[in-house]
């Protein structure tokens, strides 16, 4: 079945940053009946939509298993728990990311090792990663156990190199694909690029629900079984049998129903996001540093982020012009007060990016005319 998920221009709501209202208007006829069906059958926890969604997500990505969870954060912590990662273990993570990528390491008593990012892709710098793994091995205090690679703003990281490093060092590689679900790298979808992929269905993500949600994608049967147990309090085969320490981390049936209503539109939306990114590139040439493009990569464009001087001034002027923007992120992990004790030195690229990054409105329902207005306002705003 083909879908035309476009909105008539007259129905487009006012300029939104992430397009949540516009998307609901376009997909209401797909989402609302699915949600109503949950109220009718009343199985709000692990209702039939959860298994249906997991089958649909696995098939969409080409992964053997999709295990839904209550958030992207739980989708990161649960595989670390399944692998028994804890005190004395080092987990490598980029410094330029959302706090959840680092927080899950500390929740388990393991030690985060912050790695700087590549200045063009904004993803983890694999040469620096290798250097930091070697340094941790030399110091002998911690055991390198896992890498959490983040597909920042929707662009898949360099999984050829990351898988090689993880295999060589016998480390677990987790793709933090909270921002990249729907993306592609060399004809393989996000969800199959690393042995374990964690994604988020936070409302503003490329595939978002109407609350918190997440999922792990993997081909590993044993890990999938452990994750199904962990999300249900460590349940064994029998009800009320507890075989491990777990979490209450199941995806609500209502959120699964929302996602089932949205998933068929995802490819159309990602194509629209890519068209919008192309248009921004063209209109902002010479005004700001626009995102780099990589052969064979399709970004999910969770964010379209430019680098710009006087970022805060430009943001304020855009706000006055009615254009919503966001700063992802104002501070790298090594400079966060809660994590500072784990910093092993500056991360010059991450720190410089935090001073100049600005994310523009980006979603699958933002029409070209409005994007042109945004670009025009940016031109004016950058002139001071």
List residues binding ligand PLP (CB under 6 A): 71-73, 97-98, 100-101, 150, 176, 178-179, 200, 202, 212, 214
In the complex, least distance from residue 105 CB atom to ligand PLP, rounded to whole angstroms: 12
Of residues 195 and 213, the one with the C-beta less far from ligand PLP: 213
Query: CA-CA distance, 171 to 84, in Å (whole number)?
Result: 13
Of residues 98 and 301, the one with the C-beta less far from ligand PLP: 98
8 A C-beta contact, residue 67 and residue 231 = yes
Of residues 155 and 370, the one with the C-beta less far from ligand PLP: 155
Of residues 202 and 304, the one with the C-beta less far from ligand PLP: 202
Query: CA-CA distance, 51 to 57, in Å (whole number)?
Result: 10
In the complex, least distance from residue 139 CB atom to ligand PLP, rounded to whole angstroms: 28
Of residues 302 and 308, the one with the C-beta less far from ligand PLP: 302
Give the torsion sign (CA, 239, 240, 245, 251).
Answer: positive
Q: What angle do CA 153, 287, 23 make, to 5 degrees?
A: 40
In the complex, least distance from residue 150 CB atom to ligand PLP, rounded to whole angstroms: 5
- Cβ-in-10-Å burial (0-12, 13-18, 19+) of 159 comes to buried
Residue nearest to ligand PLP (CB): 72
Of residues 297 and 317, the one with the C-beta less far from ligand PLP: 297
In the complex, least distance from residue 206 CB atom to ligand PLP, rounded to whole angstroms: 11
In the complex, least distance from residue 72 CB atom to ligand PLP, rounded to whole angstroms: 2
- What are the residue ranges of helices labelled H in the chain? 20-41, 48-61, 72-82, 100-107, 126-139, 159-169, 221-230, 253-262, 266-284, 311-320, 348-356, 368-382
State the helix-helix crossing angle for 368-382 and 266-284, rounded to 10 degrees: 40
In the complex, least distance from residue 67 CB atom to ligand PLP, rounded to whole angstroms: 14
Closest CA to 231 of 353, 96, 106, 66: 66
Phi, psi for 214 (deg, rounded to 5): -165, 180
Query: CA-CA distance, 353 to 152, in Å (whole number)?
Result: 13
Strand partners, 207: none
In the complex, least distance from residue 138 CB atom to ligand PLP, rounded to whole angstroms: 29
Of residues 146 and 314, the one with the C-beta less far from ligand PLP: 146
């Amino acid at each position: 079945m083909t879908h035309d998920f476009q909105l008539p221009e007259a129905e487009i709501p006012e300029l939104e940053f992430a397009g949540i209202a516009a998307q609901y208007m376009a997909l209401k006829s797909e989402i609302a009946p699915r949600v109503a069906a949950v109220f009718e059958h009343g199985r709000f926890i692990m209702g039939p939509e959860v298994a249906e969604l997991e089958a649909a997500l696995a098939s969409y990505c080409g992964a053997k298993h999709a295990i839904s969870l209550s958030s992207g954060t739980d989708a990161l912590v649960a595989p670390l728990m399944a692998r028994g990662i804890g005190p004395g273990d080092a987990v490598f993570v980029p410094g330029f990311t959302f706090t959840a990528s680092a927080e899950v390491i500390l929740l388990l008593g393991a030690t985060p090792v912050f790695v700087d990012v590549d200045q063009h892709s904004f993803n983890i710098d694999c040469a620096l990663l290798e250097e930091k793994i070697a340094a941790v091995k030399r110091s002998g205090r911690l055991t390198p156990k896992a890498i959490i690679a983040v597909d920042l703003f929707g662009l898949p990281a360099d999984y050829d190199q990351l898988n090689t490093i993880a295999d060589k060092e016998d480390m677990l590689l987790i793709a933090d694909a909270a921002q990249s679900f729907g993306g592609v790298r060399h004809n393989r979808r996000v969800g199959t690029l690393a042995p374990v992929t964690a994604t988020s269905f936070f409302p503003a993500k490329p595939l978002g629900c109407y609350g918190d949600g997440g999922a792990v994608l993997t081909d590993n049967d044993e890990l999938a079984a452990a994750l199904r147990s962990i999300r249900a309090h460590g349940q064994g085969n029998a009800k009320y049998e507890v075989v491990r320490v777990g979490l209450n981390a199941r995806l609500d049936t209502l959120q699964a129903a929302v996602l089932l209503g949205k998933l068929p539109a995802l490819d159309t939306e990602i194509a629209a996001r890519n068209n919008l990114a192309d248009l921004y590139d063209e209109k902002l040439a010479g005004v700001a540093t626009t995102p780099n493009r990589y052969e064979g990569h399709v970004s999910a464009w969770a964010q379209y982020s430019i680098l710009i001087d006087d970022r805060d001034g430009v943001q304020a002027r855009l706000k006055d012009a009615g254009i919503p923007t966001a700063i992802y992120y104002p501070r790298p992990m090594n400079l966060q007060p809660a994590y500072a004790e784990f910093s092993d030195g500056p991360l010059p690229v991450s720190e410089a990016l935090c001073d100049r990054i600005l994310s523009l409105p980006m979603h699958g329902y933002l029409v070209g005319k409005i994007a042109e207005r945004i670009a025009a306002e940016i031109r004016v705003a950058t002139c001071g």
